[in-house]
Structure 1
Amino acid sequence: MFEMTRLHGATVQHDGATCFSLWAPDADTVAVKLGDGSVHTMHHQASGWYSARVNCGPGTTYRFLINGQLSVPDPASRYQPQGVDGPSCVLDPDAFAWQFNEWKGRPWHETVIYELHPGACGGFAGIQAKLPELVDLGITAIELMPVNECPGKHNWGYDGVFPFAPQSSCGTPDDLRRLIDAAHGYGLMVFMDVVYNHFGPHGNYLGEYAKSFFRDDIHTPWGPAIDFRNSQVCDFFCENALMWVLDYRIDGLRLDAVHAISEMDFLTNLAKRVRSAVPDGRHVHLMLENENNQASLLAEGFDAQWNDDGHHALHVLLTGEHESYYQDFAADTTIKLARCLKEGFIYQGETTRKGASRGEPSGHLPPTAFILFLQNHDQIGNRAFGDRLITLADHRGVRAALGLVLLCPMIPMLFMGEEWGCEQPFLFFTDHNEELGRAVREGRRNEFSDFAAFADEMIRQRIPDPNSHSTFVTSVPDRAGGNQTLQDDWLAYYRSLLRLRHAHIVPRLPGTLSDGTTIPGEKAVSACWRLGDGSRLRIDLNLSENPVVVAAPDPGSKIIHDYRASLSKDPTILPGYSSRAILDQAT
């Protein structure tokens, strides 16, 4: 493995001492106070840096003392054993004994992602116990929702204030390494969801001694924007990305909501630094969530983007919902889905309901530059009651759509529990102090005041309290309380589709290009791709109740997937709520 240069935080030296570094340009003095009570002056360096070399090693707890008064944890702490308000702890990331040192990752086209919430899956050890099931399902990568230290014992994941420190309630940093090492032993990649666009509302003190970490002219939904014009700020987050890739051997990063980052140069620089830090032959993948649909970023070091456009079109077709962001997909939805399957993004510069232009042309990108899904943490957890898709849509429609999502050349992603038909909600949950918890609860309920179903204040009061422990418990997937036969049926369906993908689609994915789409009827699409080996894949999808007329399969082609299509004896008739995948292999 390549060695990592660590600028921020506590770094154990070869002789056993520790070097402490803090960027505090607004501080007059900085000291490091160890758990034994000793205080060590930190020396002022250029550009607002303070540093000290202290004879202490791994396991030492410490805090920084700003101007002799303000005692704060290390913003680059690698471990917060007592939570966000406790002291930081010195760690030696090189001390872990990895078992699978020959692991190089897997090529991107082999990726099938399973997104999960670490806390809801029993922490790092609980996820590790689940790995054999995921391998059997056909998953090749698990994506961890953010694990950075958040206030309290459980959190949705996006209130982190220590990007370098894994959530202590999920396990120790070495527990996380054991999970990653075990996953590699099973042939599974591990992706990390990282949040570089904001800090959580409690436990972040950077504004007290490094005001230039934030901008005062740009505000995000979470407060002042992070100022990526500042090189020290860029280094902080780039170092974080490199820590996950080098110290934890993470196989990929998913960057949350990069549309809230005003400096795109930061993103391209991060990608370059990650790419240059790993040895040749090792696969590391970088993914984006980006409402701006900036296709240009997918040609500058990033492998793929979550295709929210595709999800929204499918969701509207399956549920009929049309409020909030679904308004942009409520008209000509079938045409929009066809464009997604042919060109990637639906919005490629068109005007949205808000009157703004959104997106860039994406038809030149390969299908594998887009991650497609029917469910994820956002699309469930951002709903007032955390509704799963199968509680909103006809199950036949969901199964038909899965034939498209899991077999098309885009990269598929599942959300924890959907593979066995989980109907439990996945809610927005927190564990804040009473005052902050009250503010979060009221803010959460007010978010839905513009929805017709929640116009009445009394109805909004029924929205679960994010800070209630029961809200978290309700969000933990549990097969014990459901219909076992129905769960097994869903599981078998997902497993069969993923086996088809690995057998017929994955080996042919490199070099795949769209071969066009047609619209045989309302809520029905027929999409074709020319696979890398010259084979032709066609997927027919009908999400309406009514049959539609489609082209007959070409002579010599093979139907590899048939959900209800065989209900019609005529191969040109696609019944309602059905899907079919046809492979015409190259000769």
Structure 2
Amino acid sequence: MEETPDGVAFAVTLTLGPLTLTDRFHLTGSLVERTVRVAAPADAATRRQLHGLRMTLPGAGIGPPAECRFEAPACAVRPRLPLTVAARQSPQRPGDDPHFAPGARSRWQTAINDCPDVTPGLMVVHNPRRSQSLLAWYVSRVEAATALVGGDGQFPDLIHQPALAAWLSPGASVTGGTQYILLHEGDYPAALDAYRALYPRTGIEPPLYGEPPAWTRHAAIYEVHPGQFGGFRGLTARIPALARMGITVLYLMPVMEFDNRHRAAGRPDQPWDENWLGGGSPYAIRDFEALEPSLGTEADFRQLVQTAHAHGMRVLLDFVPQGCALDARYVTEHPDWFCRDEAGNMVHSHGWVDTWSFDWANADYQAYMLDWSLRRVREWDVDGYRVDAPHGKEPNWAAGLPYHASATNLGVVRLLERLREGLRAVKPDAVLLCELFGPLFARSHDLLYDYYPMVMGYELLDGRLTPREFGEWLSDYWRVMPAVPQRVCFTETHDTRSHHPPAYKLRGSLAERALFGILIAAGFVPMIWAGQERGLEDFYRGMLAARRRSRALREGERLCNAVSCRETIAERDYRAHEHVFSLLRRTPDETVWAMVSLYPEVTPFTFSLPLERLGLRPEARYRLRDLATGEVFREYGRGEWRGAELANITLTPRMFRPYLWRVERVTRM
């Protein structure tokens, strides 16, 4: 036991086979910071190979299990679950139980996923009766950890499994990241606030750049590959129509020379056409220094950027650090840039068989990518990058490295931080948009994707989550995520062909439009995947206009599950009211009520708005203005209600139509 400036620390050392483990605990009040050091004996005859580590908090509970519930915010897990449901899960099959993790089928069949790159990795045991919570999570800038839960059917084991990997020569050691354990007194929302308040201590905050550029708050992103419009010229011709729809950012999938299989098949002028197998992947880049010839010339590309800027749009390129095409020139020019297996063979990046894996910890590789990306901003006047797939990757077992094998796992983190600092110097209003959404990347990015709101939203549409559960999920999500950067969401991307097949199946449907409206209401920066808008330009124009017109939708407080709903006509016991989603957004001078009926029939419902909480006066008169159209909503001709009536108002929404209403006070002249 030793005293530290802010607490005490102690360590437990044990021998496990040929290795020595030192489990160190640092206590500060009710917070425990745990690290594990793995060492090979100095007198070992040979080096040892470490493949991983498991850090377990066994039998987690606060009082009787029947009093407790389990939470894992911002991932695929259903909120407000009984503790015993979590205790029945199998760490070997983390996504098999759809009741526990309804969104797992769309995210690699994992329930909580890796952390801190993909999710917070936060697991909470909460006892509402005692107002106590036990929280566990993991943070590292070097190796990601897989968050898992298991147990004995009564109490769960909370597990973090860092991807720690190394050759350990005699006397050598390696230390993983930190598992945090916090005992909190207070209600569940306060426990999540306590978790987020520790971001500065855990290195997640503050951001390197201060506040994101102001334009990001109003962003509306269009993801596109120029090949979808025949090349650079075709996309340039489309820009005026996109601007009229309300798009402010063009995110271009990779436009550098790639493994274009059309070229190999004798079709050299055929650009990428969403044919991933027949045409190849634009992410299998052959040469970072050359534009893809089937898209047009460099002059065509420059004209595309200039036209976008002339229409008030920013242009983001895809920054692809994970690997390169199998026949890329870097394979022979820079063989030391690549991850290798124990036999010295190059390995595929993240399991993608059309690319070799770059070693993110390699200093020369980092220097090249940093120079390349800043040079492109200077030369082409683009406005930043969308960063592709920076999640934890495979180890590099190559001999003679000056660092351990898993240093490459999250080695891209330092590269991205240097890139963000470089962008600030080259073009101060340029940005980084990260494809990943865990807290780790909040420090270096202005905007972050998130797949989980889309994934859980589709579970809502599919009936596997109720509107109340989705509201609880959203409430927890916003409580645990860093306050900045901006969060981006969508109903489709180029990846939803594999991550959630229904996204393509439902293209253009009432269901997809309902979800897009819900995500706008929830406060996400919207992104549209090229093609999903066809035939629905007016709908998307209205949704983007609603967000542009409303500060409450962009920045306001979120009140989830604050509007009660019941069936007006109780002739049938269909419980239709349980299929209505409502969300309130509020600033001091604006209230927006978002509502979607997911019940497949037009039927009246009676709603109750929290008048006092919203500052609505019972005697005043109000109307509901549709922010998408600018028109006043009318319920069979009626367009005004007294404040007192809003506590018991009957409306008949169209099924699956997203309503974004500003609650306006009527003033008489």
TM-score, reference length from structure 2: 0.51
Is residue 210 of structure 1 aligned with residue 334 of structure 2? Answer: yes
Deviation at 1:396, TM superposition (A): 2.8
2:365 aligned partner: 233
CA contact (8 A) 1:530 1:536 kept: yes
1:551 aligned partner: 608
CA contact (8 A) 1:141 1:189 kept: yes
The 5 A counterparts of 1:25-174 are: 107-152=215-260, 153=268, 154=272, 155-174=280-299
| Cα separation, 1, equivalents of 2:633 and 2:506 | 23
The 5 A counterparts of 1:440-451 are: none
Is residue 250 of structure 1 aligned with residue 364 of structure 2? Answer: no
Deviation at 1:331, TM superposition (A): 4.5
DSSP-derived class of the 2:507 partner: helix
Residue type of the alignment partner of 1:579: P
1:52 aligned partner: none
Residue type of the alignment partner of 1:373: F
DSSP-derived class of the 1:204 partner: coil
1:535 aligned partner: 590
1:342 aligned partner: 475
DSSP-derived class of the 1:190 partner: strand
Compare the two structures and name the one with the higher helix fraction. Answer: 1
Deviation at 1:341, TM superposition (A): 3.5
Is residue 501 of structure 1 aligned with residue 634 of structure 2? Answer: no
CA contact (8 A) 1:197 1:225 kept: yes
Provide closer, same or farther for how the CA distance between residues 578 and 557 of structure 1 changes in structure 2, counting only shifts above 3 A.
same
Residue type of the alignment partner of 1:271: E
DSSP-derived class of the 2:592 partner: strand
DSSP-derived class of the 2:608 partner: coil
Q: Which of residues 348, 352, 372 in structure 2 aligns to 1:222?
A: 352
Is residue 308 of structure 1 aligned with residue 451 of structure 2? Answer: yes
Is residue 362 of structure 1 aligned with residue 480 of structure 2? Answer: yes
| Cα separation, 2, equivalents of 1:315 and 1:407 | 16
DSSP-derived class of the 2:391 partner: helix
Provide closer, same or farther for how the CA distance between residues 283 and 562 of structure 1 changes in structure 2, counting only shifts above 3 A.
closer
Provide closer, same or farther for how the CA distance between residues 241 and 551 of structure 1 changes in structure 2, counting only shifts above 3 A.
farther
Residue type of the alignment partner of 1:228: W
2:656 aligned partner: 577
Deviation at 1:542, TM superposition (A): 2.5
1:56 aligned partner: none
Provide closer, same or farther for how the CA distance between residues 386 and 364 of structure 1 changes in structure 2, counting only shifts above 3 A.
closer
CA contact (8 A) 2:439 2:481 kept: no
Is residue 296 of structure 1 aligned with residue 440 of structure 2? Answer: yes
Q: Which of residues 421, 441, 444 in structure 2 aligns to 1:275?
A: 421
Provide closer, same or farther for how the CA distance between residues 541 and 164 of structure 1 changes in structure 2, counting only shifts above 3 A.
farther
Residue type of the alignment partner of 1:377: H
Is residue 396 of structure 1 aligned with residue 491 of structure 2? Answer: no
Q: Which of residues 495, 499, 518 in structure 2 aligns to 1:378?
A: 495
Residue type of the alignment partner of 1:141: V
| Cα separation, 2, equivalents of 1:524 and 1:196 | 43
CA contact (8 A) 2:433 2:449 kept: yes
Residue type of the alignment partner of 2:450: N
Deviation at 1:265, TM superposition (A): 4.9
Bigger Cα displacement from structure 2, 204-213 vs 379-388: 379-388
What is the Cα-based RMSD across aligned positions, in Å?
3.6
Aligned length: 380
| Cα separation, 1, equivalents of 2:554 and 2:467 | 28
DSSP-derived class of the 2:550 partner: helix
CA distances 1:464-487 after superposition (whole Å, capped 9, x unpaired): xxxxxxxxxxxxxxxxxxxxxxx3
**Which structure 1 residue ranges, 5 or more long, are not aligned?**
1-103, 321-329, 346-360, 421-486
| Cα separation, 2, equivalents of 1:522 and 1:552 | 16
DSSP-derived class of the 1:193 partner: strand
Deviation at 1:173, TM superposition (A): 2.2
CA distances 1:524-574 after superposition (whole Å, capped 9, x unpaired): 32223334x653333122223255553348654643248998667754565
| Cα separation, 1, equivalents of 2:554 and 2:659 | 22
| Cα separation, 1, equivalents of 2:488 and 2:547 | 15
CA contact (8 A) 1:215 1:225 kept: yes
CA contact (8 A) 2:522 2:553 kept: no
Provide closer, same or farther for how the CA distance between residues 381 and 271 of structure 1 changes in structure 2, counting only shifts above 3 A.
same
DSSP-derived class of the 1:146 partner: coil
Deviation at 1:232, TM superposition (A): 0.6
Provide closer, same or farther for how the CA distance between residues 386 and 577 of structure 1 changes in structure 2, counting only shifts above 3 A.
closer
Residue type of the alignment partner of 1:551: S
1:22 aligned partner: none
Q: Which of residues 378, 384, 391 in structure 2 aligns to 1:259?
A: 391
CA distances 1:2-50 after superposition (whole Å, capped 9, x unpaired): xxxxxxxxxxxxxxxxxxxxxxxxxxxxxxxxxxxxxxxxxxxxxxxxx
Compare the two structures and name the one with the higher strand fraction. Answer: 2
Is residue 332 of structure 1 aligned with residue 332 of structure 2? Answer: no
CA contact (8 A) 1:143 1:190 kept: yes
CA contact (8 A) 1:373 1:412 kept: yes
Residue type of the alignment partner of 2:334: A
